[in-house]
Amino acid sequence: MMHRNPTLITGGMVVTETSVAKLDILIEGEKITRLANTISPESGWEIIEAEGSYIIPGGIDPHTHLQSKWEGLETSDDWYTGTVAAAVGGTTTILDFCRPDSNSTMMTGLREWKRRADKHAVIDYGFHLVIREVNENSLNEMKEIMEEGIPSFKLFMAYKDSLQINDGDLFRALQRIHELEALAMVHCENGDVIEVLIEQSVAKGHLAPIAHALTRPPELEGEATGRVITFAEIADAALYIPHVSCLQSLQAIQTARQKGLKVFGETCPQYLFVDIGFLNKPDFEGAKYVWSPPPREKWHQAHLWEGLNSGDLLTIGSDHSSYDFKGQKELGLEDFTKIPNGGPSIEDRMSMLYHFGVAKGKIGISQFVNMTSTNAAKIFGLYPLKGVIAEGSDADLVIWDPKRKRTISSASHAMNVDYSIYEGVEVEGAPMRTIVRGETIALNGAFVGRAGTGRFVARKLDSRQQANLTKEAVWR
């Protein structure tokens, strides 16, 4: 470990999950070692003045796809560019989806993902393991994967003939997740019905980007969400629903949480700010907004904000999966089914939520911290190592300037992708400094760190912390 002098951050408003207070923070090595109203500096300490700024726990993005493939096509962001963009945007830890090749074991996939991240990632990271097939081998292997520090598994109810798992297999996997006290993450869309709608759309010659959204209606997301919740309830498995895009899915989650079930919902910035109308943009630009589940009619957005406020949606994941418009999205010019699914969101996740959430008065600053960091730490077994500003925690911090204004644009962003889904949007509030385990790696929107400083974090779930994020059972 590189030796560093102690660092004192002074005069900032320290935000935790429940409070905001003016506190000094002492960092020694990689840890926060003291928090106090005033800490007198000693000679040799580095002093960072944070007057007028918030100091928040570094963002935790629980949902990324770096150097990932969609039908053989590789995302434009790899582990270096993707984590640099995350750092510039205020994120200090990501949980990325490790998806083994169809013919390889989960352990082989894991080794490959570790190889990709190692020496490239600039922030800390963990993985979720995608279960492509449920059988004796994969069910056994789940235990070994957990012993590697990966207690969260992803299953798909969509993408027929590739990733989709049938109901029986899904249920068996959920039973195994219960046995192992792991966490299930399930992509909720009814893949069988979507396949029929796609075939019919293609047959009618409806091939433009908008057909992507029209063949994946919100009812099919709501139906799948309710279905997997039912299975998880019978199997008594903890369940995380990523990328909730619509009221139908939110309602299924709310019903489950009213019963006190361990069901956690995530939404993504793109569902709060991009609606189905974007897919109708001229000159094929609608393809920039093709991801799954797709953008919905605008009225869903108010419900998602309500879900965030009620705590039924607990986290904001980016679902970052970036493909260039030129040369990649364009592959679907004649046929929407050939457009690679995904959008770039890792860098602006926190800025967009801060500006339209905190600055516009929709959510408080502590809620912002919970949604962008603390709740993910609690659900995924990173707390209190990460996700909180406390003595003994990793010094993963962001000094957030609530007044700094900037205009989001692909001309200035750090992501390695040729467009922005928020092009031209002006936001107020941005990270001034991003610190990972005591080291400053981004300053005023510029990356100042080195490749490979990010580290794999082995996780272990904490059922008590998870339980704290469920609703009191009303009928037990």
Q: Which residue reads 């029929």 in tokens?
A: 196
> Interacting stretch for Zn ion, rule CB under 5 A, among 80-88, 132-140, 173-181, 315-323?
315-323
Query: For residues 319 and 348, which CB has a smaller minimum distance to Zn ion in the complex?
Result: 319
Binding mask 414-453 for Zn ion (x = CB under 5 A): ----------------------------------------
Residue type at 30 in one-letter notation: E
Q: How far is the CB of 134 from Zn ion (least distance, A)?
A: 20
Query: For residues 266 and 396, which CB has a smaller minimum distance to Zn ion in the complex?
Result: 266
* 319 lies in the site for Zn ion, by CB under 5 A: yes
> Interacting stretch for Zn ion, rule CB under 5 A, among 15-23, 99-107, 220-228, 311-319?
311-319
- State which residue has the least CB distance to Zn ion: 319
Query: For residues 221 and 319, which CB has a smaller minimum distance to Zn ion in the complex?
Result: 319
Q: How far is the CB of 65 from Zn ion (least distance, A)?
A: 6
Q: For residue 122, what are the contacts with CB-CB under 8 A and spacing of at least 6?
A: 80, 83, 84, 87, 436, 441, 447, 449, 450, 451, 452, 453, 454
Separation CA 120–CA 79 (nearest Å): 6
| Angle, helix 247-258 to helix 300-310, in steps of 10 degrees | 20
* 221 lies in the site for Zn ion, by CB under 5 A: no
Query: For residues 291 and 336, which CB has a smaller minimum distance to Zn ion in the complex?
Result: 291
Q: How many residues bind Zn ion (CB under 5 A)?
A: 1
Query: For residues 124 and 319, which CB has a smaller minimum distance to Zn ion in the complex?
Result: 319
Query: For residues 241 and 363, which CB has a smaller minimum distance to Zn ion in the complex?
Result: 241
* 189 lies in the site for Zn ion, by CB under 5 A: no
Q: Tell me the CB-side half-sphere exposure of residue 195, using CA atoms within 13 A.
A: 10
Structure token digits, residue 264: 């956690």
Q: How far is the CB of 71 from Zn ion (least distance, A)?
A: 15
Provide φ and ψ at 139, rounded to 5°: -65, -40
Structure token digits, residue 387: 């996700």
> Interacting stretch for Zn ion, rule CB under 5 A, among 151-159, 319-327, 385-393, 406-414?
319-327
Q: Are the CB atoms for 285 and 235 separated by under 8 Å?
A: no
Residue type at 146 in one-letter notation: M
Q: How far is the CB of 24 from Zn ion (least distance, A)?
A: 39
N residues, the chain: 476
- 3-state SS, one letter per residue, for 200-217: HHHHCCCCCCHHHHHCCC
- Kindly provide the residue ranges of all beta strands, DSSP E only, lying in 334-391, ordered along the sequence: none
Query: For residues 155 and 388, which CB has a smaller minimum distance to Zn ion in the complex?
Result: 155
Chain centre distance of CA 253: 18
Q: Are the CB atoms for 438 and 31 separated by under 8 Å?
A: yes
Query: For residues 319 and 439, which CB has a smaller minimum distance to Zn ion in the complex?
Result: 319
> Interacting stretch for Zn ion, rule CB under 5 A, among 43-51, 104-112, 312-320, 357-365?
312-320
Positions that interact with Zn ion (CB under 5 A): 319
